[in-house]
């Protein structure tokens, strides 16, 4: 199955912990908090979480244990945090389109980060724009998380999405008829625009799908060549397409009861750490992608530059897709004022292209700008407390 049901680890943990959870809310003072990362220890996400746990430990009396895949997988993580199986974790809203529609609107706009003015790390810009928008321009976004018993602590983002394939993609004709893994609706529409077939599945399933021929290409960043061990299977990488970044991310959402069990001082440490974890994730993603692209030829992977006709048609798609996004989120999900929200995000992306320029190799500098512009303005006394 492409989308595994929420069973296995999550169900077992829920059954075993049902009695305790029914009578006792999570309490930061009661022991070590559990963080769920549904990816391998080699992943950028695990790296960022480990650094977050270290930062919190050094600056408070809170201890965090990071679980890599063993506690919850990617699809299990949102309900797992909601139900208290994990105290916090790496959440991907696009896996649940209806529950996180307001948040998914923003992630559907990620191709704005690679159109217009070009920057070295569009992920850094999109992460900043998404976090600022969610905190200060979209109360509905925060409400969606709170309905799922989660507190939002910002967004990190991937580098540019490219094609990781078992077959070469060089021309417009090559794009037709291929099966493409899509992790968000806009990437799926891009595939269909070029005559391809979109296949939606969690990141955990990509390796098996490529190996069994369920998909021909995965639309992912080059980071996933190591994150998901795709160097084992991928033979061709086509750069720059589909473009955009993966920003459908709530890097470290916290269970509401866990959050409210923290002291104001502990929550302040979490917020300062939030600037760092989002910067670390985004920087590590970018750095690993660059290393993987450089290493690809030595691993027998051909790196292909798409022709100008593909790039021109891709830009054409992005421009036309904004109206489709607006119509879809209005009609299918009942979101209001979509055009105004798209306009706000568009302006924020351009703002953050400037704010993050030159910081692609400077995670500390990136964390500082995230803190100064976003997280320092979130009040630990009141945020998420009612």
**What tens digit of pLDDT does each residue of 250-275 get?**
999 999 999 999 999 999 999 999 99
Q: Which two tokens stand for residue 310?
A: 């593909």
Whole-angstrom distance, CA of residue 198 vs CA of residue 188: 5
Average pLDDT over every residue of 38-62: 96
Would you say residue 291 has pLDDT above 80? yes
What pLDDT is recorded for position 29?
Answer: 54
Q: Which of 122-136, 265-279, 299-313 has the lowest mean pLDDT?
A: 299-313
**C-alpha to C-alpha distance for 128 and 117, rounded to whole angstroms:** 16
pLDDT at position 104 over 60: yes
Residue-wise pLDDT tens digits, 319-377: 999 999 999 999 999 999 999 999 999 999 999 999 999 999 999 999 999 999 999 99
CA dist 39 and 69 (Å) reads 6
pLDDT (0 to 100) of residue 168: 98
Identify which of 371, 375, 366, 377 has the alpha carbon closest to the alpha carbon of residue 125.
366
Q: What is the pLDDT of residue 27?
A: 56
Which burial class, exposed, middle or buried, applies to 382 when counting CB atoms under 10 A from its CB (0-12, 13-18, 19+)?
Answer: exposed
Contact of 126 with 113, CB cutoff 8 Å: yes
Q: What is the pLDDT of residue 204?
A: 82
Contact 281, 51 (CB under 8 A): no
For residues 197 and 184, the model is more confident at 197
Q: Which of 116, 160, 167, 169 is nearest to 306 (CA)?
A: 169
Domains 18-157+247-293+340-377 and 162-244+298-322 alike in fold: yes
Query: Which of 11-25, 189-203, 230-244, 371-385 has the least mean pLDDT?
Result: 11-25
CB 131 within 8 A of CB 374: yes
Domain ranges of the chain: 18-157+247-293+340-377, 162-244+298-322
What is the CATH superfamily name and number for domain 18-157+247-293+340-377? Bacterial extracellular solute-binding protein, family 7 (3.40.190.170)
Question: What number is the average pLDDT over the span 233-237?
Answer: 99
What local confidence, expressed as pLDDT, does residue 26 receive?
53
- Tell me what the mean pLDDT of segment 197-203 comes to: 91
pLDDT at 280: 99
Mean pLDDT for the chain overall: 92
Going by CATH, does the domain composed of 162-244+298-322 fall within 1.10.3720.10? no
Percent of the chain with pLDDT over 70: 92
Residue 112, pLDDT above cutoff 90? yes
The answer to whether residue 6 scores a pLDDT higher than 80 is no
Report, as an integer, the average pLDDT of 178-183.
94
Kindly state the tokens that stand for 206: 């990509």
């Amino acid at each position: 199955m492409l989308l595994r049901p929420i069973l296995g680890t999550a169900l077992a943990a829920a059954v075993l912990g049902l009695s305790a959870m029914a009578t006792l809310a999570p309490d930061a003072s009661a022991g070590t908090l559990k963080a769920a990362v549904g990816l391998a220890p080699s992943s950028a996400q695990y790296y960022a979480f480990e650094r977050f746990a270290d930062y919190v430990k050094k600056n408070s009396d809170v201890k965090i244990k990071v679980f890599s895949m063993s506690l919850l997988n990617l699809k299990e993580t949102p309900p797992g945090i909601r139900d208290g199986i994990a105290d916090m974790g790496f959440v991907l809203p696009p896996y649940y389109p209806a529950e996180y529609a307001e948040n998914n609107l923003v992630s559907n706009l990620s191709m704005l980060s690679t159109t217009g003015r070009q920057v070295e790390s569009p992920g850094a810009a999109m992460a900043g724009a998404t976090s600022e928008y969610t905190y200060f321009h979209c109360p509905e976004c925060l409400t969606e998380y709170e309905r799922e018993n989660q507190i939002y602590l910002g967004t990190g983002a991937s580098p540019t999405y490219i094609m990781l394939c078992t077959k070469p993609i060089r021309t417009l004709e090559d794009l037709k008829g291929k099966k493409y893994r899509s992790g968000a609706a806009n990437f799926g529409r891009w595939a269909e625009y070029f005559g391809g077939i979109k296949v939606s599945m969690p990141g955990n399933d990509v390796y098996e799908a490529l190996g069994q021929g369920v998909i021909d290409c995965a639309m992912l960043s080059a980071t996933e060549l190591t994150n998901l061990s795709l160097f084992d299977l991928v033979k061709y990488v086509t750069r720059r397409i589909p473009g955009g970044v993966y920003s459908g991310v709530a890097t470290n959402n916290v269970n509401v009861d866990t959050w409210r069990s923290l002291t104001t001082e502990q929550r302040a440490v979490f917020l300062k750490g939030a600037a760092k974890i989002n910067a670390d994730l985004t920087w590590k993603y970018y750095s690993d992608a660059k290393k993987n692209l450089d290493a690809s030829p030595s691993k027998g992977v051909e790196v292909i530059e798409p022709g100008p006709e593909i790039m021109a048609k891709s830009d054409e798609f992005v421009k036309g897709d904004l109206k489709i996004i607006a119509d879809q989120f209005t009609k299918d999900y009942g979101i209001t004022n979509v055009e105004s929200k798209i306009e706000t995000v568009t302006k924020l992306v351009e703002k953050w292209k400037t704010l993050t320029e030159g910081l692609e190799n400077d995670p500390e500098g990136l964390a500082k700008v995230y803190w100064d512009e976003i997280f320092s303005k979130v009040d630990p006394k009141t945020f998420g407390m009612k």
